[in-house]
Amino acid sequence: MTQPIHVLIVDDIRNNITALEASLARPDVSVLKAESGPAALELLLKHEVALAILDVNMPGMDGFELAELMRGSPRTARVPIIFLTATAQDTGRTFRGYEAGAVDFLYKPFDSRILNSKVDVFIQIERQKQQLAAQLSTVQQLLDANEMLMAVLGHDLRTPLSAVIASAEYLSRFVQDENVANIGTRIKSSGMRMVRMVDQLLNLARLRGGRVTLQPRPVELMTLARNIVDEYEARVGKGRIFIFRDGDTLLQGDGDLLSQVFSNLIGNALQHGRDGSAIQVRLDGSAADELVICVQNAGEIPADVLPTIFAPFRSGRSQQESGGLGLGLYITHEIALMHGGSVKARSTNDAGTTFEVTLPRAPRPRVGRTEPAQPFRLS
């Protein structure tokens, strides 16, 4: 059921109110009536009004004064106002009405058809606002339900996955039968892949639900990079990932989110880079107001994949090959935007693939939504 749309009529002459009420009668319109400015203000405190039709000449508080009070209140500042007056046409009074916030100024006697046409416009606008509000509420409920589902999924899956991975680890390390050990290794690999998928889905739900907020603090990017590299070296061995620093790499940012940027980019390089090739992580802090993170690996991204590399559920390989859902680069893009930065990708057969994240020294507010960054190519 749609809510009735309220139209406020303010006039000190009751017969005028009755005539206007009859003219505006519609099934979905509720007419609020007031015979003075103070009475109108009381109604405005109780009801959301789509349009106010004010008489100019009223004892005590006239229509201009009432309009100025309405414009001074956040609750009623955006209520459209149409002035009605029985006095002779006066350009000065007309301009004063518009200065007071009127959207129209009519002189009596007026053509009721013209007034009704004007009122219909504001009724349609209010109805559209109600529909948009209902749609927004529905979308928010869906987002909340989606986030709850992801949270339950993540919580309920982690416990059995931990048992599966631990059991697979035991089989691969302590069972003498080589076939069984190989099966354990495959089970462990698949279990770790499922863990990464769960993590990516949880991060996606939080990002799209607007539940991830920055918690800026002093962050040393070199320390973050070193920690993530140490974690990966424990899995793939030392001597493959190299870190280079130039200048001051201290900034104000969310350390947890920026750690995820390093983890996503290095993990992507390991997954999609040429087998056994070196990975370079370069931190450029030579500029006064920004820092640049570059992660480079051998191997080329296909030309048809590069334009959509930061889109969700996209990657350079199939999900089976990538070990995830193709969300890592999308999440990296969103985290960079949250800090007021950007991320780009370039890839050629000779130079390999480089992801470049530019971050300001201090987070800049994110205004609106930005589409994923377009790739750039070497000249």
| pLDDT value at residue 322 | 45
Helix 91-99 to helix 63-71 angle (10° resolution) is: 20
| pLDDT value at residue 314 | 61
What is the distance between the alpha carbons of residues 369 and 335, in angstroms, rounded to a whole number?
13
| pLDDT value at residue 192 | 75
Q: Which residues pair with 152 in a beta bridge?
A: none
DSSP assignments along 332-377, one per residue: HHHHHHHTT-EEEEEEETTTEEEEEEEEESS-----S--PPPPP--
| pLDDT value at residue 149 | 72
Token pair 């405190």: residue: 45
Q: How confident is the model at residue 177 (pLDDT cuts 50, 70, 90)?
A: confident
Say which residue, 136 or 91, is predicted with more confidence.
136
What is the distance between the alpha carbons of residues 371 and 203, in angstroms, rounded to a whole number?
18
pLDDT digits (tens, 9 = 90+) for 166-176: 888 888 888 88
| pLDDT value at residue 117 | 86
Say which residue, 104 or 345, is predicted with more confidence.
345
| pLDDT value at residue 235 | 77
pLDDT digits (tens, 9 = 90+) for 20-59: 888 888 888 889 999 999 999 999 999 989 899 998 888 8
Using the predicted structure, report yes or no on whether residue 374 has a pLDDT greater than 50: no
Mean pLDDT across the stretch 47-73?
A: 88
Using the predicted structure, report yes or no on whether residue 111 has a pLDDT greater than 70: yes
| pLDDT value at residue 306 | 85
Q: Is 173 exposed, middle or buried (0-12, 13-18, 19+ CB in 10 A)?
A: exposed
What is the distance between the alpha carbons of residues 153 and 133, in angstroms, rounded to a whole number?
30
Mean pLDDT across the stretch 222-236?
A: 88
Using the predicted structure, report yes or no on whether residue 190 has a pLDDT greater than 60: yes
Neighbouring C-beta atoms of residue 166, cutoff 10 Å: 12
| pLDDT value at residue 247 | 94
pTM of the model: 0.53
Query: What is the residue-averaged pLDDT of the chain?
Result: 82
| pLDDT value at residue 375 | 45
Token pair 């590299």: residue: 229
Percentage of the chain surpassing pLDDT 90? 25
Q: Name 266's Cβ contacts closer than 8 Å, sequence gap at least 6.
A: 228, 229, 232, 241, 279, 281, 295
For residues 158 and 195, is the Cβ–Cβ distance under 8 A?
yes
137: region left, alpha or beta (phi > 0 left; psi from -120 to 50 alpha): alpha
Using the predicted structure, report yes or no on whether residue 355 has a pLDDT greater than 90: yes
210: region left, alpha or beta (phi > 0 left; psi from -120 to 50 alpha): left
Which range of 125-139, 274-288, 303-317 scores highest in mean pLDDT? It is: 274-288
Q: How confident is the model at residue 205 (pLDDT cuts 50, 70, 90)?
A: low
Q: How confident is the model at residue 232 (pLDDT cuts 50, 70, 90)?
A: confident
pLDDT digits (tens, 9 = 90+) for 287-345: 999 999 999 999 888 888 888 888 876 655 544 444 445 678 888 998 899 899 999 99
Using the predicted structure, report yes or no on whether residue 371 has a pLDDT greater than 50: no
Q: How confident is the model at residue 368 (pLDDT cuts 50, 70, 90)?
A: very low
